[in-house]
């Protein structure tokens, strides 16, 4: 089953159709520079649905509405790249600086974390591992971890907690693998204790249903870079609505809030982190009370 070369008119026409579908469903932009990913990602979809070319696939998408095909294409085009403890220095900062500060500030002994754009769940599981490894420190605390992603296939894998040998070898310490995973055929499955800590939900940052109230720590890493500047500002407004005056936002290494609205400022204490603007904090606190 062939895919026309990226330089041909047929491929460019198909790419425009597929890019429009992805943007309409997720807000993500599929640039021409990512054509190599489109070629590789869509091969399983072509085989499953019996299309000979990417042009045939695009023509079918235009001709008739098939929700299952639409979802298969979107899932294939989304970048679900993730790994355990990705950017280890970020997790070290969370562990050594951010969480101790939250513990000091929170009188209600509730820790709320949102992993927005969680992909297949490694980020959320990495947070859960760090928290479980220091269970005594969090004795008496209520811990809530929400993890959301637009990809239904990614969320299904995250909920199942099943990862290949190659996945657990990327960033996961041997001690943590032995302690928090169990063999599952040729793969590894996250322990029930960790799976119960995380609420995985399929959700759209541009039509969110899952988040409620305010979160102490929000991770939205390597998500904004796929959006237009206008969309980035829209996501940051959403994250600000679910922040309070001491919340911390963490973005990916190549992302920034600068130039995308005035909802967040660089954090004074945590390098690479962001804090909500003071006036946004008051609004968020009021919203949190109304939501309950």
| pLDDT tens, position by position, 208-263 | 999 999 999 999 999 998 889 999 999 999 999 999 999 999 999 889 998 888 99
Q: Please state the domain extents for the chain.
A: 9-77, 88-291
Fold match flag (9-77 vs 88-291): no
Q: How distant is the alpha carbon of residue 212 from its chain centre?
A: 17
Q: Tell me the DSSP string of 112-174.
A: EEEEET-TTSHHHHHHHHHHHHTTTTTTT-EEEEEEEES-HHHHHHHHHTEE-HHHHTTT--H
Residue 196: pLDDT above 70? yes
Q: What is the pLDDT of residue 4?
A: 47
CATH homologous superfamily of domain 88-291? Answer: Vaccinia Virus protein VP39 (3.40.50.150)
pLDDT digit string (tens) for 126-148? 999 999 999 999 999 999 999 99
User: Domain 9-77 - what CATH class?
Assistant: mainly alpha
What pTM does this model have? 0.82
Q: What is the pLDDT of residue 31?
A: 63
- pLDDT-above-70 percentage for the chain: 89
């Amino acid at each position: 089953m062939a895919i026309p070369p990226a330089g041909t008119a047929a491929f460019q026409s198909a790419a425009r159709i597929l890019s429009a579908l992805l943007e309409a469903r997720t807000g993500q932009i599929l640039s021409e520079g990512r054509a190599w990913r489109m070629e590789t990602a869509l091969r399983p979809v072509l085989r499953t649905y019996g299309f000979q070319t990417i042009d045939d696939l695009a023509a079918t998408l235009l001709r008739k509405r098939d929700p299952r095909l639409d979802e298969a294409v979107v899932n294939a085009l989304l970048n679900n790249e993730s790994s355990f403890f990705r950017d280890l220095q970020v997790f070290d900062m969370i562990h050594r600086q951010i969480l101790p500060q939250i513990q000091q500030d929170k009188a209600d002994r509730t820790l709320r974390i949102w992993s927005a754009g969680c992909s297949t769940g490694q980020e959320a599981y990495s947070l859960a591992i760090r928290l479980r490894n220091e269970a005594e420190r969090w004795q008496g605390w209520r811990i809530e971890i929400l993890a959301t992603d637009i990809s239904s296939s990614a969320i299904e894998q995250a909920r199942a907690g099943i990862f290949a040998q190659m996945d657990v070898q990327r960033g996961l310490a041997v001690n943590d693998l032995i302690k928090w995973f169990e063999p599952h055929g040729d793969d590894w499955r996250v322990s029930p204790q960790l799976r119960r800590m995380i609420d995985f939900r399929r959700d759209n940052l541009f039509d969110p249903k899952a988040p409620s109230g305010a979160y102490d720590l929000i991770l939205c890493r390597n998500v904004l870079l796929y959006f237009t500047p206008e969309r980035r500002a829209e996501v940051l407004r959403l994250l600000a609505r679910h922040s309070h005056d001491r919340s911390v936002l963490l973005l990916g290494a190549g992302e920034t809030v600068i130039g995308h609205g005035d909802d967040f400022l660089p954090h004074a204490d945590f390098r690479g982190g962001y804090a909500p603007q003071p006036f946004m904090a008051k609004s968020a606190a009021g919203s949190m009370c109304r939501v309950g």
